[in-house]
Amino acid sequence: MKIIEGGVCAAKGFTANGIHCGIRKNKSKRDLSLIYSDTRCAAAAVYTTNLVKGAPIAVTKQNISDGYAQAVICNSGNANTCNANGVEIAQQMCDLVSEKLSIPASDVVVASTGVIGEVLDITPIRDGMDSLAEGLGDNSAFAAEGIMTTDTVRKEIAVSFEIGGKECRIGGIAKGSGMIHPNMATMLVFLTTDCAVSPEMLQKALSTDIQDTFNMTSVDGDTSTNDMVTILANGKAGNDIIDTDSDDFKTFAKALNTVTVYLCRNIAADGEGATKLVECSVTGASSKEQAKIAAKSVICSSLVKAAMFGSDANWGRVLCALGYGVKDLNPNTVSVSFKSAKGEIPVCVDGAGVPFSEELAKEILLEKEIEILVNLGVGDYSACAWGCDLTYDYVRINGDYRT
């Protein structure tokens, strides 16, 4: 398996584009994206658990209920959520893609992201469809930019792998910077692959994967209203279709996980106002569930996040977060270390502090990527979660997000 160029266009048969159509006031910002496969695809998706859901989610659920789709359209700048005509607008977006690409409207995944509660005008989307569709090509970067809101960098990746002697590829783009919390979903992610996979096994692979990837990513504790992860598989790699839980399925799942972990780390690192990626690796847990709870408790703690911003080795905040998260925690067996490119420093062993150099700890925590290593000391299970520091800029960004 290797990382390759191309993003969502790396897999055979997929093209993409992103333009500024006029939803966003800033004309330098792309605000409408399209991904297209030249053949119909198996499709799978997972969605936000927030009870307040964007209208595009309802339309997408209905459209891919048969397990197939051929295109994805997504706008930024307006979430199309809590609008009386939201479903109608989302359906119109699908209709526009249908008319331009000559595919059924029911084969379109539709998504929106941005401000909640503002009416989405279909006019700029309609007016931009010619330019959007005619520009379809090897433009994954444009598509990635078109779905960004407060993101500061585009997020895309692709990998190649082999199944049955055939080269297969998976690529993806993502947006996510705020309203990110582990409670599926956590953002918008669009994945494409030319591997032949049945809709049922595609859904199984995605639903299983997100439990240890997107559900383990948190920026601010807010689960958004519009989040979804979708994957389209057109089978153009020519491998025998994966329709059972076989070794080929495991290979595919591993490739998918490589893509999703990369996107998770990028989303966490680009959290609103963030200056650091914070990863919490938990070992020695009594169960997988408790390992995941422990890792998420640490990366979700506002006090831990603030300490990471200040490069303060305040390990007591880590113990505090574990104490209200892990049901069977034994404080007397917990050990904690901080690690980065500058080295690793133990700060707590068996529930008690140990002497350490504050100067070295500061040097370690000043890095852009920080690992918090936690050993619960009671079992053999492990988990990993990703988050970021909490900065002044997070409040500034969200204080005037709508206006």
Residues 296 and 245 in one domain: no
The reported pLDDT for the residue numbered 19 is: 98
Residues 319 and 205 in one domain: no
Dihedral sign for Cα 134, 65, 187, 232, please.
negative
Instruction: Examine the fold and report which residue of 236, 269, 302 is the final residue of a domain before the chain moves on.
Output: 269
State pLDDT tens for residues 66-109. 999 999 999 999 999 999 999 999 999 999 999 999 999 999 99
Residues 221 and 358 in one domain: no
Please report, in angstroms and rounded to a whole number, the separation of the first and last CA atoms in the chain.
45
From CA 41, how far away is CA 38, in angstroms rounded? 9
Domain count, the chain: 2
Number of other residues whose CB lies within 10 A of the CB of residue 357 = 11
From CA 318, how far away is CA 324, in angstroms rounded? 10
CATH number, domain of 11, equals: 3.60.70.12
Q: For residue 278, which of 312, 251, 239 has the smallest C-alpha distance? A: 312
Residues 248 and 342 in one domain: no
Residues 254 and 383 in one domain: no
Residues 243 and 320 in one domain: no
287, 293, 299, 300 alpha-carbon torsion, rounded to 10°? 180
User: 400 exposed, middle or buried (CB, 10 Å; 0-12, 13-18, 19+)?
Assistant: exposed
CATH number, domain of 353, equals: 3.10.20.340
Q: For residue 37, which of 9, 67, 64, 65 has the smallest C-alpha distance? A: 9
pTM: 0.88
Per-residue pLDDT of the chain (403 residues; tens, 9 = 90+): 999 999 999 999 999 999 999 999 888 999 999 999 999 999 999 998 777 888 999 999 999 999 999 999 999 999 999 999 999 999 999 999 999 999 999 999 999 998 888 999 999 999 999 999 999 999 999 999 999 987 888 999 999 999 999 999 999 999 976 555 555 444 799 999 999 999 999 999 999 999 999 888 877 665 666 788 999 999 999 999 999 999 999 999 999 999 999 999 988 888 777 899 999 999 999 999 999 999 999 999 999 999 999 999 999 999 999 999 898 899 999 999 999 999 999 999 999 999 999 999 999 999 999 999 999 999 999 999 999 888 887 777 777 766 6
Residues 133 and 203 in one domain: yes
> What DSSP string describes 133-173?
HHT-BB-HHHHHHHT-SS-SS-EEEEEEEEETTEEEEEEEE
Please tell me whether the peptide bond between 185 and the residue prior to it is cis, using omega within 30 degrees of 0.
yes
Mutual orientation of helices 315-325 and 302-309 as an angle, nearest 10°? 160
Just list the catalytic residues. 186
The reported pLDDT for the residue numbered 86 is: 95
Residues 354 and 264 in one domain: no
Residues 232 and 310 in one domain: no
The reported pLDDT for the residue numbered 227 is: 81
Instruction: Examine the fold and report which residue of 246, 269, 292 is the final residue of a domain before the chain moves on.
Output: 269
Residues 41 and 171 in one domain: yes
Residues 151 and 198 in one domain: yes
Instruction: Examine the fold and report which residue of 238, 269, 300 is the final residue of a domain before the chain moves on.
Output: 269
- The domain in which residue 134 lies consists of 2-269
Residues 290 and 213 in one domain: no
Place of tokens 């909490």: 390
